Amino acid sequence: MSLEARPLLIHASQCQLQAGHWDRARQLFFRAMAISTTSGLTDAPDPFKAYLWCMRTGHGPKLTERNRFRGKTRDRRGQWAIHEKDMVFLAEGDWNKTTSFVRHDLKGYRDLRISLSLALHKWETGHQAACFKLLNTALQYPIGQGSPQWVVRTRWLYYKDLIRAITPILRGNTAKGPRLMTFERKLRKVRWDRRIQFYFYLGWAFDATGDQKQAIEYYERCVTPWYAPVPERTLAFVRLRAKHIDPLAVMNKRARADMPAPLRRYVATMAKGATQDENGK
């Protein structure tokens, strides 16, 4: 199957997902993830993305994909492998393993995403002083250390601005202050799928301080009807579901608002057929 088929399969999977056809959506998504983005050759689906699909939707062989993912990454020590493992442990709420990987694997390397995650976890567990210490230390990291060129600006300059916007929130200013407003304006220059990372951490900061309304607002911004290979999108799904909010319903609502009328009618017809199939069982 050619590389050009990959985005088409992903889009088809999203349509099936919005219509409630879980098995078909999973099959299409896993087929897309099995196509190499470099060679176009077909292989087994990427276990990291397959596992996150199961976490997002609440459907599929989650345990099987989790074991495949763990088996693949057990001996990997690269920067991205560390980040993948960290995101999975975050999604599962397994902080003991997350922090052990940070201590073991990140000697000599500083990652703002991991530092920010650990800082917010410290806040949630009552260690506010340790949280601010981590944030202040992260602001001193050299810009772009260990990062590919294309992420230098987003991962470092934008993440440092994010930390500066989050700090007043943690200090009790839960309203959208000037730093946060300025940061949101800067985010308009960032591609839509990369904004998800920042929206998730803003939601987490409001969540940590007990401002549920603002937290939900930012989490819902992460639940895009279009697929984005960003782990924080899955983390937002998990957090919304923990608040008894169906992230798939949020996603479908956004999709209906954004899609052209003919496509909206098509999805509605598919959803009606799925309901009739369920009632007929």
What is the per-residue pLDDT across 36-46, written as a single tens digit (0 to 9) for each? 655 555 566 67
**In the predicted model, is pLDDT for residue 93 greater than 50?**
yes
DSSP code of residue 229: -
More confident residue, 133 or 258: 133
pLDDT at residue 44, rounded to an integer: 63
**In the predicted model, is pLDDT for residue 158 greater than 70?**
yes
What is the per-residue pLDDT across 208-226, written as a single tens digit (0 to 9) for each? 999 999 999 999 999 987 7
**In the predicted model, is pLDDT for residue 52 greater than 70?**
yes
Paired tokens of 262:
């003919």
What is the per-residue pLDDT across 13-22, written as a single tens digit (0 to 9) for each? 878 877 788 8
Long-range contacts of 131-137, Cβ-Cβ distance < 8 Å, separation of 24 or more: 131/170, 132/167, 132/170, 135/163, 135/166, 135/167
Confidence grade of residue 164 (pLDDT, cut at 50, 70, 90)? very high
What is the per-residue pLDDT across 229-265, written as a single tens digit (0 to 9) for each? 788 888 899 899 999 999 888 887 877 666 556 656 6
Cβ–Cβ under 8 Å, residues 69 and 48 = yes
Q: Average pLDDT of 168-195? A: 84
More confident residue, 184 or 112: 184
Percent of residues, the chain, with pLDDT higher than 90: 19
Cα 119 to Cα 103, 136, 166, 209, 227: the distances in Å are 14, 10, 11, 13, 28
What global pTM score does this model have? 0.78
What is the per-residue pLDDT across 116-129, written as a single tens digit (0 to 9) for each? 888 888 898 899 99
Cβ–Cβ under 8 Å, residues 57 and 251 = no
Q: Average pLDDT of 76-98? A: 64
Confidence grade of residue 278 (pLDDT, cut at 50, 70, 90)? very low
